[in-house]
Amino acid sequence: GENVEQHPSTLSVQEGDSAVIKCTYSDSASNYFPWYKQELGKRPQLIIDIRSNVGEKKDQRIAVTLNKTAKHFSLHITETQPEDSAVYFCAVRNYGGSQGNLIFGKGTKLSVKP
C-alpha cells in the first residue's frame, strides 16, 4: 500500500522567513496531493492541493511543488506570519486505485516566532 513520509516533524521559523515541508510517497500511480492545516484545537482544513498533471501551484503566500519522477511534493510558505503556526499534513491519493482514499503524512508542527 501507499506510504507517505513527511519531514520535518517540527519546524520553527522567525516571522517573515520562509518554511518548507516535504513529503515523499511510494505509489507512482498516486495523482492527487493536498495539504491540510490544523490550528490548535481545530479541525484540519484544506489549504492547497495539486494534481499529477501540474508541477506547481500557488495561492498567495503558499505554494506546492510536485516532482512525480522523484515521488515527492513540498509545501512552501513565504513571509510567514504568527497565524501560520499550526500542524500541517500532506496527503496522497490514487483516484484510479482500488480504494482511492487519502493517506496522510504524520504532520509537521510549524511555529512562527514573532
Partner 1 sequence: DADVTQTPRNRITKTGKRIMLECSQTKGHDRMYWYRQDPGLGLRLIYYSFDVKDINKGEISDGYSVSRQAQAKFSLSLESAIPNQTALYFCAAETGSNTGELFFGEGSRLTVL
E strands, 1-114, are 4-7, 10-14, 19-25, 32-38, 45-51, 56-59, 62-67, 72-77, 86-92, 103-104, 108-113
Q: How far is the CB of 31 from partner 1 (least distance, A)?
A: 10
Q: Which is nearer to partner 1, 16 or 106 (CB)?
A: 106
Q: Which is nearer to partner 1, 57 or 78 (CB)?
A: 57
Q: How far is the CB of 83 from partner 1 (least distance, A)?
A: 19
Burial of 72 (0-12, 13-18, 19+ CB in 10 A): middle
Q: How far is the CB of 44 from partner 1 (least distance, A)?
A: 5
Q: Which is nearer to partner 1, 37 or 65 (CB)?
A: 37
Contacts with partner 1 by CB under 8 A lie at 1, 6, 9, 32, 34, 36, 42-46, 49, 89, 93, 95, 99, 101-107
Cell 512552501 belongs to 76
Q: Which is nearer to partner 1, 46 or 81 (CB)?
A: 46
Instruction: State the DSSP code for 68.
Output: T
